[in-house]
Amino acid sequence: MDGKEFTVSEVIDSFGINGHTWLMFALLGLANIFDGYDFMVINVTNSYVAATFWPDAFALNEATGKIALQPQYSALMGSLTTWGLLGMVLGGATGGILSDRIGRKKMLTIAVLFYGVFTLPQAFANDVYFFAAFRLIAGFGVGSCIPVVTTCFSETIPSQHRGVFVTFGMAFMVAGWVLAGLIGNPIASNTASIIPGFTDGAITTAASGNLPEGASFCQNWRLCYLIGALPIVYGILLFFLMHETPHWYANSGQKEKACEALEDIAHKHHDDSAHYDPNLLVVPPKPANIGPNVLFSKKYIVATAAIWTTYFVGQFCVYGMNAWIPTWFQGVGYSAADSTNLQTWNNFAAILSNISVGFVSDRIGRKKNLAGSWIACIVAIVLCSMLVQPNNMALCVVLMLLFGFCLNYAITAVQPLMPESYPTALRNTGVAWCQAFARFGGSGSSIVLGAIAANAIFKTAEGATNWSLVVLVLIVPFLLGFICTVMFVRETGGKTMDQLAAESTTEDKSDTGTTLFGIMMVVAALLAVLCIVCPLVVQGWSSSPMALPLMTIGMLLPFVYFFIFATPQIKNSK
């Protein structure tokens, strides 16, 4: 570059949007589509899976005259979603660290192959223990994939377009959710065996919504998990087509390879004569300490508080509601097929929100965009609570479009903040641990909402779940999301990754964040015990008068933690 010093960000910004940008966009997008399918397929098929493993989970409610989930199975059915999410927690925590050490390309390829290989055995499960074990293991790969995709987008896209591409990329994951509904619903609800000898075996009206008693289905849900093994093929293609990011090369001490990667992009899509001298490449200094504990040092704890709290809220609401939307609408009186279709409309709206959120975020800023999205979520959930009613499919579609748009807009508005909060050497660890912890919210939410739905406070006089009250509970996390956005989020839009790293406060090498990290792990353990372990292990937990207060405490503990330890550092972070 004419004998001048340069950074990776400056070179990438000088290229603008080019063929390499679109190649990475397509490759990362496809990885997210498969990832989204793998997560959502359980929510599409959970009624059929539950009916296979627990034949008495659904029964006729004599008061309403409809088939309904028995209260004692609420937490267990919620756990079908939880196992995969717990695997995602472990995968995100481990995969993030590995990605910062072995590279983005290797980690993403391993993750995609991993969840493809371990989704396949789920199709052959003969009991819930086998099924849950492989959901957990496959979730490890799913959890490793998502943060690497986010990090790759942030390290590949020019600064002025970063927010658009990061959030648009998340639309691919939601597209996987929609595909899971479009593919899984007609397959699972088919009353005839699609693959004789494999999907044979009748299941009862457990999954049939309000069909006449005595109707039965075959175990076609198994085919949905065969389809979920397609990432095995894609993982192989990814290995040959994807390039390692120049940012990772530069920050891992491989300046020559970083310059070669930049030249490769330039020669193919920008300038055939481009040459970059490794000796002139300026790399921001690495943090003195690297590891998840550093996220809780004084230097980074406010940024960690911002993304951990807001993404926790989003995961709790998105995953919790996706797990229970079909059951909600079956309880209102819609068939299983119509209920799953409403869930699919909810996720279709999420694609639209993910496409639009980046444009707004780049225009008005990350903080204003996120704060406004929580207010929109409160309005949407109140309207759903008031207006959802039986025998009005058109109205319910409109409400699900509104709710899906607002909720997924909010959670996606957090995405650009994640990679922008940490330097390259710590970036994927930061992104992955944020997403991993937030999935505790998702893991617990499906069980917590199930426990709430089974609680007498949320029952009608006939004994049915009053979902109008249950969904109003989401106002609490939405308000917390708004408060944490106002308190902790700092504006990062429009700046290069190198500028953001340079703006960090002076690092105290003795401050490793180890003590606060240890306290946070205790908080996470308490959350897991109160909101996941107890509902699944303690008999009659959901009906205990202490269950709801204790689970509420478990979910609020992370917020109390950050209010105590991050608030004193807010002035220093500005």
Question: What's the confidence (pLDDT) of residue 217?
Answer: 64
Q: CA-to-CA distance for 370 and 163, rounded, in angstroms? A: 13
Collect all residues with Cβ–Cβ distance below 8 Å to 532 and sequence separation of at least 6: 82, 86, 443, 444, 447
Question: What's the confidence (pLDDT) of residue 84?
Answer: 82
Q: What is the dihedral of CA 291, 297, 299, 305, to 10 degrees?
A: 90
Q: CA-to-CA distance for 277 and 360, rounded, in angstroms? A: 37
pTM of this structure: 0.72
Q: Are 484 and 105 in contact (CB under 8 A)?
A: no
Q: Are 154 and 166 in contact (CB under 8 A)?
A: yes
Question: 3-state class of 66 per DSSP?
Answer: strand
Question: What's the confidence (pLDDT) of residue 63?
Answer: 58
Q: CA-to-CA distance for 111 and 84, rounded, in angstroms? A: 14
* Tens-digit pLDDT string for the chain (574 aa): 566 888 888 888 888 888 888 888 899 999 989 988 998 898 888 878 888 887 766 666 655 566 666 666 666 666 777 788 788 888 877 887 788 888 899 999 999 999 999 999 999 988 888 998 999 999 889 888 888 888 888 888 887 777 778 777 778 888 898 899 889 888 888 878 888 878 776 665 444 443 334 445 678 889 999 999 999 999 999 999 998 989 889 888 899 998 888 888 887 765 667 788 888 888 877 766 677 898 999 888 999 999 999 999 998 888 778 777 877 787 777 877 788 788 888 888 888 888 888 888 888 888 999 999 999 999 999 998 888 888 889 998 999 999 999 998 998 899 888 888 888 778 878 888 888 888 777 777 777 777 777 777 777 766 677 777 888 888 999 999 999 999 999 887 766 666 666 665 455 666 788 999 999 999 999 988 888 788 777 877 767 778 888 888 988 999 999 999 999 988 766 5
DSSP state string for 402-413 = HHHHHHHHHHHH
Question: What's the confidence (pLDDT) of residue 269?
Answer: 64
Q: CA-to-CA distance for 333 and 328, rounded, in angstroms? A: 9
Q: CA-to-CA distance for 344 and 87, rounded, in angstroms? A: 24
Directed axis angle between helix 255-269 and helix 8-15, to 10°? 10
Q: CA-to-CA distance for 438 and 557, rounded, in angstroms? A: 13
Q: CA-to-CA distance for 485 and 440, rounded, in angstroms? A: 20
Secondary structure E strands in 301-362: none
The total number of residues shown for the chain amounts to: 574
Which residue is it, tokens 């008693």? 213
